[in-house]
Amino acid sequence: MSLQQIDAGMLAKMFLAGAKNLENKKEWINELNVFPVPDGDTGTNMTMTIMSAAREVSGLGEAIDMQGLCKAISSGSLRGARGNSGVILSQLFRGFTRRIKEEELLTIPVLAEAFDKAVETAYKAVMKPKEGTILTVARGAAEKAAELVDDGCTDMEAFLSTVIRHAEYVLSQTPEMLPVLKQAGVVDSGGQGLIAVLSGAFDAFLGKETDLSIKPAGQGASAGGNAKESQMQAESQMEIKFGYCTEFIIMLNKTFNIKTEMDFKAYLESIGDSIVCVADDDIVKVHVHTNDPGLAIQKALKYGALSNMKIDNMRLEHQEKLFKEAESSRKETQAAESRADTPPKDYGFIAVSVGDGINEIFKSLGVDYIIEGGQTMNPSTADILDAVDKVNAKTIFILPNNKNIILAANQAAELSAEKDLLVIPTKTIPQGITAIINFVPELSVDENEANMLNEIGNVCTGQVTYAVRDTVIDDKEIKKGDFMGIGDSGILAVGNDMTAVADDTISKMMKAESELISIYYGSDVTEENAESFRSQVADRYPDCDIELQYGGQPIYYYVMSVE
């Protein structure tokens, strides 16, 4: 006979099992993102959010009470929240735990009320809730729970099972609510992540064997203030078994069939690890960690000539990395001590940015602290709060520069007790640059906020990247490997020529009153090619000022804006 009430110990197991199930499925959930970009991160963001809470729950030990458990789940997920999906998940947990924290045992009616409170809290956290998302799936589950209570359901197993099945049905209907999902042939990725959490929790309730061990935080602030220090200590004790990272390309002069490839891989495995051996027509790409690169090279020479050879001493690089991190930690401590003795200034700026060139642009414009992140890694609420601690100012303006970071920034503003945080909802790097350029120290906070909000509304942004899978979006057929120009509200251009796509993207952003075109080229674009593209744009739009700057951003070849 199954349990009819859930105590704190069982709820902790269910939560940890839900977290592990989400972690196991995060890559699959990442692939459900509508846009086929190489930084699809819903599964990753939700996993890092729930794992922040799972580490706190795991640290409670055996003597768990409901209040302590609820505090660990709520606090851990709020501080660890990353991306819109992660913030919404943390708000669902926040609402859920608010309702149950005073209970010793959870009954079906209490769970139904907690589901309802979770949905109410999450919807309030989103300025413009959109249906067909994780919010819709959560609401569907809450509505089914209330319906079951009204019907007099008294069997906990049947209750939980029915709620989850209905949530899965609602998820299956999300493509009918959001045409972009239907066109891409996927369900909502955030909703799928929520189903993973619920399904894992239900498995634990049923008594299914699950590994509930939670790994310590590898990095980041979500595990607490000493996370970085702990990581450095762990790395200093780490033994590197094979010391040389060895890479080269074999230009084949004889047949390299499947058997030959397997034999060569077997040999590499006998002398090292981290093997990559990819054969393509007349070349073979090789990567191996070994203590004797010469053995790998001698073997490879039997198949052809070698090129693009690269050998790195990983032990030496590891020691250099530890030294740099220790030096950085020392400087941070000195800076903190200096801040404590210095009166705070009136205003400060924090910007989320990626790419050494763009970072330097923000610093030159007066940004006090750069949070490394953006498209490829959304910083957590805790990361933002840590940055706030490092800026000695009464009022701090935060520039998220990514629509998927705004909610985490807003959450940080709510949690900050000692300093006033003002989030300027910049969705792109060009918007962030425009915002800080238009800051006037002599104006009040409210006047600056109004001015910056007005100016970022005049910025159109386009970003050029590549597709990681075949799909159809906005009636545009996209093939894996195609270049895509992504605008503020969708795909603007698609093609197999990067410069042509970038040019087409700008043309779609242009308006009659446009005066300035800014181009930031990424780490994978040469200065020569960028200059050539700038000249092409200048010839096409002679009445506009054209600015070209090195951004150094990964994944996105060009970030462009029109004002």
In Å, what is the CA distance from 186 to each residue of 46, 180, 493, 512? 18, 9, 22, 37
CATH of 343-456, one of 3.40.50.920, 3.40.50.720, 3.40.140.10, 3.40.50.510: 3.40.50.510
Give me the mean pLDDT over the 343-353 stretch: 92
pLDDT on residue 340: 59
pLDDT reading at 222 higher than 70: no
pLDDT on residue 33: 76
**Domains 8-205 and 343-456 equal at CATH topology level:** no
pLDDT on residue 547: 94
Q: What percent of the chain has pLDDT over 70?
A: 91
pLDDT on residue 338: 60
Please state which architecture CATH assigns to domain 225-338: 2-Layer Sandwich (3.30)
Alpha-carbon gap, residue 119 to 40, rounded angstroms: 25
* Contact by Cβ (8 Å): 430, 518: yes
Give me the mean pLDDT over the 307-313 stretch: 87
Give tens-digit pLDDT for 508-562.
Answer: 999 989 999 999 999 999 999 999 999 999 999 999 999 999 999 988 999 999 9
pLDDT on residue 239: 60
Domain regions of the chain by residue span:
8-205, 225-338, 343-456, 460-562
| Assigned CATH topology for domain 460-562 | Hypothetical Protein Tm841; Chain: A;domain 3 (3.30.1180)
Alpha-carbon gap, residue 195 to 204, rounded angstroms: 14
Pairing between β-strand 558-562 and β-strand 516-521 as defined by DSSP bridges: antiparallel
pLDDT reading at 326 higher than 90: no
Pairing between β-strand 558-562 and β-strand 244-252 as defined by DSSP bridges: unpaired
pLDDT reading at 235 higher than 50: no
Which residues make beta-bridge pairs with 26? none
pLDDT on residue 65: 93
Cα-flanking dihedrals φ and ψ of residue 339, to 5°? Answer: -65, -35
Range with the largest mean pLDDT of 121-135, 140-154, 247-261: 140-154
CB count within 10 Å of CB 165 equals 11
Mean pLDDT score of the chain, rounded to an integer?
A: 87
As assigned by CATH, the class of the 8-205 domain is mainly alpha
**Residue 219: pLDDT band by 50, 70, 90 thresholds?**
very low
CA 250 to chain centre: 36
Give me the mean pLDDT over the 264-291 stretch: 83
**Position with higher pLDDT, 546 vs 226:** 546
Alpha-carbon gap, residue 482 to 248, rounded angstroms: 27
